[in-house]
Amino acid sequence: MTLQLGDTVPDFDAPTTQGPINFYNFLGDSWGILFSHPKDFTPVCTTELAEVARLKPEFDKRNTKVIGLSVDSVESHLDWEGDIEETLGQAVNFPMIGDPDRSVAMSYGMIHPNASDTLTVRSVFIIDPKKKLRLSLTYPASTGRNFREIVRVLDSLQLTDDYSVATPVNWRDGEDVIIATAVSDEEAKKRFPKGFKTLKPYLRLTPQPNK
C-alpha cells in the first residue's frame, strides 16, 4: 500500500549503526526524516550521506531527527562510513538502518519492482511529531537529491503549521509569505500587524510572521 500525505507512518523495530531502535521511540516528540538509498559503496549515495551529515546541525535546529536506510546490513553501513569520512572528510553522524530482510523498505513502499526488485529507490519522508507523513519524495538511483530542499520544506511546514500562511515558489526562510485565502482582510489586519500587499484578492503577501 502506498503511503500518502497525512497517513500515520508505520512503526518498526530495527538494527542501526547506533544500536537497535524502535522508530516511534527514536522520533519521540521530534520531527523526523527517514530516507533510503539504493546500495552501500556506491558513488551517488556516498555524496548524499556526507551531505546529510553536514546538514545535521540544520536538522537539529529544527527539532528534527534524521535516519537513513538501505537493504544492506549494519556491518556493511559501518564499513562504508569509513570510506565516506576518508573520501569526503565528513563522519556520518546519524543512524543508518540495516534492512537486509527489506521489512522496513516494504512497509514504506521504498522498493519499486519496475525500477529494481531488490534495491530501495531514493525515498525521503518527512514525518511530523504526531507521526503523520508530511512529505514524500522519490528520486531515481542516478540522481542525487538536494537535501537543502528538504530543510526548506521543513521550514515551510513548521511555519505554516503555526500561522495561516503558505509559502510561494522557491520561498526561503525570511522571505514574504502568502496569507491563506480563508483569512478575510479584516482578520489579516489583526493577524499580520506588519501589513500585507494585495496583488489579487486571492494573492496577499506579508512579511514572514515569525521573524
Catalytic residues: 45
Q: Indicate which single residue of 19, 43, 174, 193 sits in contact with ligand BEZ (rule: CB under 6 A).
A: 43
Cα 203 to Cα 172: distance, rounded to the nearest angstrom: 18
Nearest approach, Cβ of 142 to ligand BEZ (angstroms)? 6
C-alpha cell at position 90: 565528513
Site for ligand BEZ in 52-111 (CB under 6 A): none
Q: How far is the CB of 89 from ligand BEZ (least distance, A)?
A: 19
b/e for 80-105, b at 16 or more Cβ within 10 A? Answer: bbeebeeeeebebebbbbbbeeeebb
Assigned C-alpha cell, 139: 528520486
Total binding residues toward ligand BEZ, as defined by CB under 6 A = 8
CB 189 within 8 A of CB 183: no
Site string for ligand BEZ, 136-155 (x = CB under 6 A): -----xx-------------
Query: Cβ 27 to ligand BEZ, closest distance in Å?
Result: 26
Q: Which of residues 112-141 bind ligand BEZ (CB under 6 A)?
A: 141
How near is the Cβ of 195 to ligand BEZ at its closest, in Å?
A: 48
Of residues 44 and 151, the one with the C-beta less far from ligand BEZ: 44
**DSSP string across 99-148:** -TT-HHHHHTT---TTT-SSS--EEEEEE-TTSBEEEEEEE-TTS---HH
Ramachandran category for residue 65: left, alpha or beta (phi over 0 → left; psi -120 to 50 → alpha): beta
Q: Number of helices and strands (H, E) in the chain?
A: 7, 11
Quick one: which of 39, 56, 62, 131 contacts ligand BEZ (CB under 6 A)? 39
Site string for ligand BEZ, 44-63 (x = CB under 6 A): xx------------------
| Among 42, 90, 158, 164, interactor with ligand BEZ by CB under 6 A | 42
Contact region with ligand BEZ (CB under 6 A), list: 38-46, 62-70, 180-188, 199-207: 38-46
Sole window of 37-45, 53-61, 65-73, 100-108 interacting with ligand BEZ (rule: CB under 6 A): 37-45
Rounded Cα gap, residues 211 and 189, in angstroms? 17
Please state, in angstroms and rounded to a whole number, the distance separating the CA atoms of residues 47 and 141: 13
Q: Footprint of ligand BEZ on this chain (CB under 6 A)?
A: 38-39, 42-45, 141-142
